[in-house]
Amino acid sequence: MSEQLDKLVLQAAFDREQRHPDRVFMTQPVKGQAIDYSWGETMDQARRMAAHLRSLDLPPNSNIALISKNCAHFIMAELAIWMAGHCTVALYPTLNADTVEYILGHSESRLLFLGKLDDWDHMKAGVPADMPIIALPLAPANDYAKWDEVIAGVEPIADNPQWPADQRALICYTSGSTGRPKGVAHSFGSISAPASLQGTVLDITEADRIISYLPLAHVM
Report pLDDT digits (tens) over 105-136.
999 999 999 999 999 999 999 999 999 999 99
State the pLDDT at residue 66. Answer: 97
State the pLDDT at residue 159. Answer: 97
- Bridge-partner residues for 29, per DSSP? 34
- Residue 45 is which amino acid? Q
Tell me how far apart the alpha carbons of residues 89 and 183 are, in angstroms, rounded to a whole number.
9
State the pLDDT at residue 87. Answer: 98
Rounded to whole angstroms, what are the CA distances from 50 to 5, 46, 77, 110, 203? 24, 6, 8, 15, 32
Of the CA atoms within 13 Å of residue 23, those in its CB half-sphere come to 12
State the pLDDT at residue 61. Answer: 98
Contact 120, 114 (CB under 8 A): yes
State the pLDDT at residue 5. Answer: 67
Tell me how far apart the alpha carbons of residues 145 and 119 are, in angstroms, rounded to a whole number.
20
State the pLDDT at residue 175. Answer: 78
Which portions of the chain are predicted below pLDDT 50? 1-4
State the pLDDT at residue 54. Answer: 98
Contact 52, 150 (CB under 8 A): yes
State the pLDDT at residue 24. Answer: 96
Tell me how far apart the alpha carbons of residues 129 and 126 are, in angstroms, rounded to a whole number.
9
Taking the model in full, what pTM does it have?
Answer: 0.94
